[in-house]
């Protein structure tokens, strides 16, 4: 059955007239995520905005009965066109499902509805004196979306990604039935990991309506260490030596001068490390200042031995925020010229080699490929630019950037596969990387994913076409 007047009336009976959109002007905001190109823009036939978990189940039941494809949407901050609707389908936006269900300090846990944002999670954790470590860069991402993409962020090296913090989920299945998976406990050995199956499933196996997340005690002290190096390889190669000293910073970021220069201009601030062509930014946390300062001292020693040109310690909050402020603006600064932000992940020992490979591609194709990333967990972000980039200024458009984009993309993905890495460390597959998945994980693994999809969603109504085609 098409999404026609009758269908919209039935949907409005479930979510109320305010909860259903069908005017083109209202649908536009739901036709894309943050993927830079408009290749995958697709207006849904309608957007349903349920305000309760029962209404989510009602809409999914209606979709199941009428065969209408349904794509869940959280904050729409995804970077792989995963929350874009099927041309005949609807978007189910979780934005009104935004309640804190329970802050549970005794169990170091918090239960929230799927539309609760990362910013709200951080605040709610802080209100009970605890801390939620995962931090994907856009705080308007929502709990359900972060689980559905298994989001990561800079702190994964010490704390892991979202999957390490999911204790329980409430999920509406393709039939419209609701199931509770997991709970507020740390361990379980009770058959197949149905909850784990939902993590990273990009809305293709179920609609997440509630999430219980683990929290940790808040660190007593945080220090930031910044060290410039002559080359990005020298910066990255010092990381294993740091980890081998038994010190795990909660973030280890490498940034190249060309990318930082753009962010400096955008925020009108100066990156404190002026020498060299790359910097290593390390963040340490621990119970008190003495502990963290002693770790910072040990790290400084290792980096000096490995060729750091300087060691800068940001020991007060303003200084730390200034450095992080510039770092967090890199993507924003490059965005007007960015075609795609890659998020490949390679084994730690392969990071420097992969970054050198990216530099060779810059020469081969004559395109700027500013690169930065999480130096200790192997997650490398390369921006494919369609404009020239000099001293932090975006210049003229590169004439044949489209064909270069496809070629660079394939070469980058082939290189990470050769290095036994993967094509997405944290942003997901969506539509943007779908055609490369089989090369990465093999046809048998894709076939296994298809059989799981068929078992859980026999009519194929949940976010069809994402991750793989049926």
Ligand X SMILES: Cc1cc2nc3c(=O)[nH]c(=O)nc-3n(C[C@H](O)[C@H](O)[C@H](O)COP(=O)(O)OP(=O)(O)OC[C@H]3O[C@@H](n4cnc5c(N)ncnc54)[C@H](O)[C@@H]3O)c2cc1C
Applying CB under 6 A, the residues found at the interface with ligand X are 33-34, 71-79, 82-83, 94, 114, 136-138, 141-142, 144-146, 148-149, 151-153, 202-203, 207-208, 331, 426-427, 463, 466
Return d(Cα 53, Cα 68) in angstroms, integer: 19
Alpha helices per DSSP H over 97-238: 118-127, 143-149, 156-159, 194-198, 232-237
**Residue closer to ligand X (CB basis): 34 or 237:** 34
Rounded least distance, CB 56 to ligand X, Å: 8
**Residue closer to ligand X (CB basis): 230 or 450:** 450
**Residue closer to ligand X (CB basis): 144 or 370:** 144
Return d(Cα 166, Cα 200) in angstroms, integer: 12
> How many C-beta neighbours within 10 Å does residue 334 have?
26
- Residue 461 tokens, joined: 């109504």
Residue nearest to ligand X (CB): 145
Rounded least distance, CB 252 to ligand X, Å: 14
Burial category of 285 from C-beta neighbours within 10 Å (exposed 0-12, middle 13-18, buried 19 and up)? buried
Eight-class DSSP state of 138:
-
**Residue closer to ligand X (CB basis): 171 or 308:** 171
Rounded least distance, CB 137 to ligand X, Å: 3
Rounded least distance, CB 251 to ligand X, Å: 11
- Sign of CA pseudo-dihedral 92, 98, 102, 106: positive
**Residue closer to ligand X (CB basis): 409 or 434:** 434
**Residue closer to ligand X (CB basis): 83 or 296:** 83
Return d(Cα 210, Cα 115) in angstroms, integer: 9
Rounded least distance, CB 305 to ligand X, Å: 30
**Residue closer to ligand X (CB basis): 133 or 152:** 152
Q: Which of 374, 347, 358 is nearest to 235 (CA)?
A: 374
Where do the DSSP E strands lie in 74-151?
90-93, 100-104, 109-113, 130-131
**Residue closer to ligand X (CB basis): 306 or 434:** 434
Rounded least distance, CB 74 to ligand X, Å: 2
**Residue closer to ligand X (CB basis): 365 or 384:** 384
Return d(Cα 209, Cα 169) in angstroms, integer: 8
Length of the chain: 470
**Residue closer to ligand X (CB basis): 86 or 202:** 202
**Residue closer to ligand X (CB basis): 28 or 289:** 28
> Are the C-beta atoms of 52 and 14 separated by less than 8 Å?
no
Rounded least distance, CB 6 to ligand X, Å: 26
Q: Which of 156, 74, 205 is nearest to 343 (CA)?
A: 156
Return d(Cα 68, Cα 88) in angstroms, integer: 7
Return d(Cα 24, Cα 344) in angstroms, integer: 36
Task: List C-alpha distances in Å: 101 to 35, 111, 171, 210, 212.
Answer: 32, 5, 15, 9, 9
Residue with tokens 């962010």: 263
Rounded least distance, CB 206 to ligand X, Å: 7
Rounded least distance, CB 18 to ligand X, Å: 20
Q: Which of 277, 271, 251, 240 is nearest to 371 (CA)?
A: 277
Rounded least distance, CB 282 to ligand X, Å: 17
> Are the C-beta atoms of 202 and 466 separated by less than 8 Å?
yes
Return d(Cα 227, Cα 444) in angstroms, integer: 44
> How many C-beta neighbours within 10 Å does residue 22 have?
17
Rounded least distance, CB 202 to ligand X, Å: 4
């Amino acid at each position: 059955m098409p999404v026609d007047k009758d269908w919209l009336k039935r949907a409005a009976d479930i979510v109320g007239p305010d909860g259903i959109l069908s005017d083109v002007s209202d649908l536009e905001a739901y036709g894309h995520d943050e993927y830079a190109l408009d290749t995958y823009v697709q207006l849904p036939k309608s957007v349903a905005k349920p305000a309760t978990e029962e209404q989510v189940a009602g809409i999914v039941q209606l979709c199941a009965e009428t065969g209408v494809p349904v794509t869940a949407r959280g904050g729409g901050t995804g970077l792989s066109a995963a929350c874009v609707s099927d041309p005949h389908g609807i978007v189910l936006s979780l934005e009104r499902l935004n309640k804190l269900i329970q802050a549970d300090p005794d169990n170091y846990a918090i239960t929230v509805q799927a539309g609760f944002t990362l910013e709200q999670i951080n605040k709610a954790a802080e209100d009970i004196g605890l801390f939620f470590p995962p931090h994907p860069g856009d705080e308007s991402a929502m709990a359900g979306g972060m689980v559905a993409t298994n989001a990561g962020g800079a702190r994964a090296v010490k704390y892991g990604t979202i999957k390490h913090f999911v204790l329980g989920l409430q999920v509406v299945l393709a039939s419209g039935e609701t199931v509770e998976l997991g709970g507020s406990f740390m361990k379980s050995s009770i058959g197949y990991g149905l909850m784990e199956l939902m993590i990273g499933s990009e809305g293709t196996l179920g609609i997440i309506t509630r999430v219980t997340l683990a929290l940790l005690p808040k660190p007593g002290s945080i220090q930031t260490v910044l060290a410039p190096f002559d080359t990005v390889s020298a910066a990255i190669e010092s990381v294993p030596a740091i980890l081998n000293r038994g010190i795990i910073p909660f973030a280890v970021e490498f940034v190249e001068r060309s990318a930082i220069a753009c962010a400096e201009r955008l925020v009108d601030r100066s990156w404190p490390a002026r020498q060299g062509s790359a910097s290593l930014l390390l963040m340490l946390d621990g119970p008190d200042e003495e502990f963290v300062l002693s770790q910072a001292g040990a790290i400084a020693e290792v980096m000096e031995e490995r060729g750091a040109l300087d060691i800068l310690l940001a020991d007060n909050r303003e200084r730390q925020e200034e450095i992080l402020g510039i770092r967090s603006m890199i993507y924003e600064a490059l965005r007007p010229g960015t075609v795609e932000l890659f998020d490949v992940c390679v084994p730690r020992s392969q990071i420097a080699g992969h970054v050198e490979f990216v530099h060779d591609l810059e020469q081969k194709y004559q395109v700027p490929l500013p690169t930065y990333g999480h130096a200790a967990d192997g997650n490398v972000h390369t921006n494919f630019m369609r404009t020239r980039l000099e001293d932090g200024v975006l210049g003229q458009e590169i004439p044949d950037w489209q064909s270069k984009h496809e070629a660079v993309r394939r070469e980058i993905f082939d290189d990470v596969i050769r290095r036994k890495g993967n094509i997405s460390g944290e942003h997901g597959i969506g539509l943007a990387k779908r055609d490369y998945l089989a090369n990465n994980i093999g046809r048998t693994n894709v076939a296994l994913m298809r059989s799981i999809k068929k078992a859980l969603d026999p009519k194929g109504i949940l976010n069809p076409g994402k991750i793989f085609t049926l």
